[in-house]
Amino acid sequence: MTNAASASVPGEPVIHASPPRPSYIPPFGLRTVVGCLGMLLAVHVAGFNEHVTEIGLSDIRGAMHIGHDEGTWVIAIYEAFNIAAMAFTPWFYMTFSIYRFSIFMTAMLALLSIPAPFMPDVTSLCILRAFQGLAGGCLPPVLMTVMLKYLPPQIRVFGIGGYAMSATFGPNLGLPLEAFWFEHVGWHWLYWEIIPTAALAIAMMSYGLPRDPMYFERFKKFNWFGILVGLPAICSLVIVLYQGDRLDWFRSSTITNLTFWGGAAFIVFVINEAFHPSPYFKIQYWTSRNIQAALLSLVGILAICSIMSEIPATYLEVVRGYRPIQTAPVSLVVALPQLIMLPLIASICNNPKVDCRLVLAGGMLCLAGAAWLGTWLTVDWVRDNFYLIQLLQVFGQPMTVIPTLMLATMAMGPADGPFISGMVNMLKGLANAVAFALFSAVSRRREQYHSTMLLDHHGTHQLALQGMGNPIDQQLAGLSPDAAHTAWNGLQVFHTYLHEQSLVLALTDIYYVLIWVCFGYAAMNLVLPHRVYPPRAPSPNIPAR
């Protein structure tokens, strides 16, 4: 066969081959960096909208005249739609393009925050927050795909570190932001604070993200049954986690029905995903040891980090009476160093000589050490006593999250990215719900147990100590001439002391449990997953075969 050059006749037009289709992966440069940073900022905007309003719910309830029980539904519904959206997002951004889908969802998230403070009742606020949760949940899966698709292989681990910021930096910055907006600007800005940053993120994404085409022909194979079954199933299970402890779990018909029907629908959804030609994520990935270890570790690690952040906030608020602005330094100790620690850990894991499983195990030991220091908690602690515990989390959180994400993504091919992205992000969001349910249930039950034991101990030895007098009544005797009033006040003070001691003992029990959970995850990740190596660009000296 002769080639085109030899077959051409002088004087006749040359017929050139049709140009190849563009890959829509732009050459790496400043424009790509700006687009990736805009996507990262958009995810943080969604995270701030979630965490700031959740932390500031007490202030929002007071300003909007919402009761406690109604306020819990505002959080539960937002989180339900937020987590459910993560499972289905990859299919939609592959259809409508990353560029258009990301900008639309970021704009929708910001615009819905404008009327939020003016909602006339709880029902309308819950509906608005459901749509906001849906928009916010669509952004993290896109970030993971952007970091893995547009960054060159030699710095892709740093992209994973950037994605890890949404799990380490963002949540710890929620409390300081809530304190700043409420104390210095106004409670309306607990909703509105995302508007300026969302506008900046949209501008950066408009400039930097490639404008890839839309593929509407994908709707011919759209998994309608999967979304109709999966969306209510995931929402039901998340609501169970957020409302279960308040409604006393299966003693409530609401929790029982949501668990039964939601669990049944979720089983049908998983079966459908296993056999559908166009699934939202592939259940077959769970046959990989690395995926098993990574996804199980991701849920556990993020739940551990969430609980360890919740314990100091709960103690300082309940026992010490701190406002968020007074608790903010405890969160900033963890949040701000992440800007240095995340690139540092990413550079360590990007070295082929370093086994990321060992880094993960070392991070779990740091978290175990922080939990061990927490077992010394007493009612005399103040904010400064938590700084050393938080310092160990500065090292432990990035050392666990980045290697876990590497184990989940480095063993996958480029075509697997969207399928693993939805699964990882759904479990990432589910970790917060699991942490909330575990902390609420364990802290309440252990507090009730210790309260009963302390009252029993007091009742047993009350007569033996009667001759020594009541120190509380002795101190209050000079404040009121009415003996009955003094006795009533003394009883109130005694109950306050009892509540504080019970809560401290309950939080200490949680710290003890976390120590062994950290050890278990460290051992599991040394045994279960295979080693993965950071990606590298193909060498030009190696001939193609």
Residue 420 maps to which CATH number? 1.20.1250.20
pLDDT at 102 (0 to 100): 92
Contact 41, 200 (CB under 8 A): yes
Asked if the model's pLDDT at residue 9 lies above 50, the reply is no
pLDDT category of residue 208 using cuts at 50, 70 and 90 = confident
- The CA–CA distances, whole Å, from 235 to 27, 259, 440, 539 equal 40, 11, 19, 47
**Residue 343, in any domain of the structure:** yes
In whole angstroms, give the CA distance from residue 266 to residue 236: 9
pLDDT at 493 (0 to 100): 72
**Residue 544, in any domain of the structure:** no
Backbone angles phi, psi at 279, to 5 degrees: -80, 165
The average confidence (pLDDT) of the chain is: 83
SS3 string, 102-117, reads HHHHHHHHHHHHCCHH
**Residue 294, in any domain of the structure:** yes
In whole angstroms, give the CA distance from residue 135 to residue 206: 18
Q: Which residue from 317, 315, 310 is spatially nearest to 334, judged by alpha carbons?
A: 310
516-540: per-residue pLDDT in tens? 999 999 999 888 888 888 876 655 4
Contact 141, 421 (CB under 8 A): yes
Say how many domains are in the chain. 1
Contact 332, 358 (CB under 8 A): no
Backbone angles phi, psi at 353, to 5 degrees: -80, -15
Q: Which residue from 286, 290, 262 is spatially nearest to 274, judged by alpha carbons?
A: 286
Alpha helices in 56-117 (DSSP H): 57-64, 68-96, 98-113
In whole angstroms, give the CA distance from residue 325 to residue 255: 35
pLDDT at 487 (0 to 100): 62
Percent above pLDDT 90 for the chain: 34
Average of pLDDT values for 85-105? 89
What's the token pair of residue 510?
Answer: 């949680």
For residue 271, give the H/E element and its range.
helix 253-275
What's the token pair of residue 39?
Answer: 């996507």
482-503: per-residue pLDDT in tens? 666 566 666 677 778 888 899 9
> Residue 24 — left, alpha, or beta (φ > 0 → left; ψ -120 to 50 → alpha)?
left
Which residue's entry shows tokens 């994400």?
A: 405
Contact 386, 418 (CB under 8 A): no
pLDDT at 199 (0 to 100): 94
| Cα angle, residue 127 at apex, residues 124 and 133 outer, rounded to 5° | 140
pLDDT at 457 (0 to 100): 78
436-487: per-residue pLDDT in tens? 999 999 999 999 998 888 888 777 766 665 555 666 655 666 666 666 656 6
Q: Which residue from 110, 102, 99, 109 is spatially nearest to 196, judged by alpha carbons?
A: 110
What's the token pair of residue 358?
Answer: 């060992």
Contact 486, 473 (CB under 8 A): yes
**Residue 270, in any domain of the structure:** yes
Q: Which residue from 87, 140, 155 is spatially nearest to 109, judged by alpha carbons?
A: 140
pLDDT: is 445 or 287 the higher one? 445
In whole angstroms, give the CA distance from residue 245 to residue 434: 12
394-441: per-residue pLDDT in tens? 999 999 999 988 888 876 665 666 777 888 888 888 888 999 999 999
**Residue 500, in any domain of the structure:** no
Contact 488, 543 (CB under 8 A): no
pLDDT at 528 (0 to 100): 84
pLDDT at 365 (0 to 100): 94
**Residue 405, in any domain of the structure:** yes
Contact 287, 274 (CB under 8 A): no
109-167: per-residue pLDDT in tens? 999 999 988 888 888 999 999 999 999 999 988 888 888 888 888 888 888 888 888 88
Average of pLDDT values for 279-298? 83
Count CB neighbours of 7 within 10 A: 10
**Residue 259, in any domain of the structure:** yes
Range of the domain at 237: 30-207+225-446
Percent above pLDDT 70 for the chain: 86
What DSSP designation does 213 have? P
pTM for the model stands at: 0.85
**Residue 339, in any domain of the structure:** yes
Asked if the model's pLDDT at residue 20 lies above 50, the reply is no
